[in-house]
Amino acid sequence: MQQLVNAIIRFRNGLVYLLLISLSIFLLQQSSAYHRSLVANVSVFFGAQFSDFVNSFHSYFNLRETNRSLLQENQILLNQILFEEKLPSDTLHYSSVPLQVIRNSFINSYNYITLKGGKNNGVKNEMGLVTAQGIVGVVQVVQNRYTQAISVLNKDLKINAKLKNSNHFGSLTWTGDDPTKMRLFDVPTTATIKIGDTIQTGGMSTIFPPNLPIGSISNFVDDPSISFYDIEVSLFQDMTNLGTVFAIDHPLAEEVLSVQQSTDEK
């Protein structure tokens, strides 16, 4: 017994190291939504207010760039009003909440965005985040004044997307290398595609409305051994430069989810 105690005392640093590294890996590998949101909640609680302060400092020096970005957004919105087709009268009327990005990571494999604005502004869980240029992320944790969202630059996120020209659907995901590019899988090789074709949201969930711009095809692989393309998509939205984003509220989200849930139970 004494020898065991002596051995533990002698190798205590090694044991403490093993314990702490195991704890770190445990935190890192937590894939369950509950644990991730628990850690994210702590992170938002402590980190968001500080990031807000840092952001207010930086935003002062970025006014020129913000102004340019707003002008560009205004132009896109004006073009939509003037030239886009009028929506049919039975189309769902989505509402949106503007949120300011106060922290945006893009150097990790699992990136998150922290936003100023939360429950007090009408933000709800699983709202999609967009800008006039494209999609940005999905709301994950909502507190009263701050929100954390999973960035599209997060390997865990899979987005339903489609080809603008042919309505073939696929699954859009980030592979963790280039923040300007994502990969679209599961588009059947029966679809005719070419470089430069536009990719849009598929609208098969309550997160993003259909037909929102995402990016354009910059490269693709047509492997004859499998019947699906591997498509590289260049994002329209520069994910390394986010100012104000909009959280999209699906008007019938709760109804759709309850119908899906009851179908799944059957």
Partner 1 sequence: MKSRSYPFIAYFFLLPILQMIVFNQFGLGSQLVPQVTLLFLIFYPTDSDQTLYLLVAFLYGLYLDILHSTMGLQAAACVTVAFFRPFIITSVFGKNYGYVNIRLQQTSLLALSAYCLNIVLIHHLVYYVFGVSSWTQWLQIIQQFIFGSLYTLLFLIAIMFLLQKNKQ
Is 100 a binding residue for partner 1 by CB under 8 A? The answer is no
Q: Is 176 in the site for partner 1 (CB under 8 A)?
A: yes
- Count of residues for the chain? 266
Interaction of residue 92 with partner 1, rule CB under 8 A = no
User: Do the beta carbons of residue 38 and residue 90 sit within 8 Å?
Assistant: no
Which of these ranges, 88-96, 120-128, 170-178, 188-196, lies near partner 1 under the rule CB under 8 A?
A: 170-178
| Interface with partner 1 in residues 179-238 (CB under 8 A) | 179-180
Output the smallest distance, CB 125 to partner 1, in A. 17
Name the segment binding partner 1 (CB under 8 A); options: 51-59, 70-78, 223-231, 247-255: 51-59
For partner 1, give the closer residue by CB, 114 or 205: 114
Answer yes or no whether residue 252 interacts with partner 1 by CB under 8 A.
no
Q: Mask 108-147, x = binds partner 1 (CB under 8 A)?
A: xxxxx-x---------------------------------
C-alpha span between 266 and 261 (Å, rounded): 9
Residue nearer to partner 1 on the CB measure, 68 or 155: 155
Indicate whether 7 belongs to the interface with partner 1 (CB under 8 A). Answer: no
Among positions 10, 11, 24, 223, the unique one binding partner 1 when judged by CB under 8 A: 24
Nearer to partner 1, 13 or 89 (CB): 13
Q: Which is nearer to partner 1, 155 or 158 (CB)?
A: 155
Contacts of 167 (CB under 8 A, 6+ apart): none
> Which residues bind to partner 1, rule: CB under 8 A?
12-14, 16-17, 20-21, 23-28, 30, 36, 39-40, 42-43, 46-47, 50-51, 54, 57, 103, 105-112, 114, 148, 155, 175-177, 179-180, 240
